[in-house]
Amino acid sequence: MSKNRRRQKNKDLSKKIAEERILLLFELAEQNFNEHPDRTHRYVTLARLIGMHYRVRLTREQKRRICKHCYHYLVPGNNCRIRLKGGAALTTCFVCGKMSRCPYYDKPMKESVEPVEQAESDEQVESVEQAE
């Protein structure tokens, strides 16, 4: 009994540490994106691996920053484009070119919602297209 309890406690502790490490890796990814874009992919890969190993889920915010298809770290206006449509954010990854959908309301809104374009994103998209 006491053994089990201790194991449970250790498990909770390791999960907490894992969460902290994931948080730290995401911070590092954010800080290093401009200077070392290649490192950010490594950071988020490690964060995902830690999460899988300790069965810690990434937060919603963290999941949004990673491409669902190629697992690259996404920075809006830099390597991804976000369009709001029908109560969901459509994220287009420029690394793999695929789109992922992320609802931003708890209940999905019906068709009455008009697609809302972000005012500043058009400019950013243009600059990315020129770079290609």
Residue 87 burial (CB < 10 Å; 0-12/13-18/19+)?
middle
25 or 93, CB closer to Zn ion? 93
Tell me, residue by residue from 19 to 58, as one string, x for binding to Zn ion by CB under 5 A and - for no binding: ----------------------------------------
**Which residue, 21 or 48, has its beta carbon nearer to Zn ion?**
48
Residue that is written with structure tokens 């949004």 in the block = 64
Using the minimum distance from each CB to Zn ion, give the nearer residue, 70 or 109.
Answer: 70
Q: Is 93 in the site for Zn ion (CB under 5 A)?
A: yes
> Could you say whether residue 70 binds Zn ion (CB under 5 A)?
yes
Task: Using alpha carbons, list the distances in angstroms from residue 118 to 22, 79, 84, 87, 100.
Answer: 30, 16, 8, 14, 17
